[in-house]
Amino acid sequence: MQPVIGITPDYDSAAGRYQLHQDYAAAISAVGGYPVMLFGQGEIPLFLDGIVLSGGGDIDPLLFHEEPLRESGEISPRRDQFELSLCQAAIQKNIPLLGICRGMQVINIALGGTIYQDIGVQTKSTLKHRQQAPRDYATHSIMIEENTLLSHLWGKEKAAVNSFHHQGVALLGEGLRYSAKSQDGLIEAIEHTEKPFIFGVQWHPEAMKTGEQGRIFAAFVQAAAEFHAIRR
């Protein structure tokens, strides 16, 4: 049986509309998962074997105990509340989690960490983290830590990724470690040191569509299949 993977969509408050790029579902389907879209209502469905927290807009700074800077972008309170509660419940139940871009930041906040509201203002970075290039094109490098999930998946110390963000992980949440950083020191990937599979990346692997990026989804869906076997 295919592992069932729930994917959180973005939510347009003004239009009252959920939306999700097809690349997320395609990436999950390509490695044997069965993707379904999750809506911000009720508890985690019992049939879920894994959860992808997708990319999107900014997270409300009040949720990590900061006042909003003027550089902060549009927020979606409905999405924030749903994803944080979903993430915390999934962590308690050991449901595999994959956070992409904003999703990585949600995982970090759910575990008590913080994020930079705007890396251009709050760090000394001069790198371009919001690229003006096709979504599938890599525009900056990351340095991969040894003995991490990412190093095991890719077998290398350096790689190039795409980048579409102005926020980033600052103080790591409880139980998390970084598994990659960009050359300006910004955290680009995180993983949990104790839980079976909690992994986040700051880039968009679903958009790059390479075999290397596909191994991230394959490892996640494999973890979801193992979770399904345990809970049967």
Rg of the chain on CA atoms, in Å: 16
Overall average pLDDT of the 135-162 stretch: 98
75-96: pLDDT as tens digits: 999 999 999 999 999 999 999 9
Kindly report whether the global pTM for this prediction surpasses the value 0.85.
yes
Contact 145, 180 (CB under 8 A): yes
Angle subtended at Cα 182 by Cα 176 and Cα 187, rounded to the nearest 5 degrees = 20
Q: Determine which one of 87, 188, 206, 228 is catalytic.
A: 206
86-137: pLDDT as tens digits: 999 999 999 999 999 999 999 999 999 999 999 999 999 999 999 999 999 9
Length of the chain in terms of residues written: 232
Please say if the pLDDT value at position 174 is more than 90: yes
Contact 102, 53 (CB under 8 A): yes
The whole-chain average pLDDT of the chain stands at 95
Could you tell me what percent of the chain has a pLDDT over 90? 91
User: Domain 4-231: which topology?
Assistant: Rossmann fold (3.40.50)
- 83 among known catalytic residues: no
Contact 51, 90 (CB under 8 A): yes
Domain positions in the chain are 4-231
Lowest mean pLDDT among 28-32, 70-74, 144-148, 178-182: 70-74
pLDDT interval class at 13 (50, 70, 90)? confident
- 188 among known catalytic residues: no
Q: What is the DSSP letter of 127?
A: S
pLDDT interval class at 42 (50, 70, 90)? low
- 204 among known catalytic residues: yes
CA distance 94 to 196: 7
Contact 168, 201 (CB under 8 A): no
CA 21 to chain centre: 14
Please say if the pLDDT value at position 226 is more than 80: yes
Q: Determine which one of 101, 191, 192, 228 is catalytic.
A: 101
Residue 232, pLDDT score? 63
Question: Tokens 């991230």, residue?
Answer: 216
Residue 14, pLDDT score? 86
Please say if the pLDDT value at position 16 is more than 70: yes
User: Looking at per-residue confidence, does 231 or 203 come out higher?
Assistant: 203
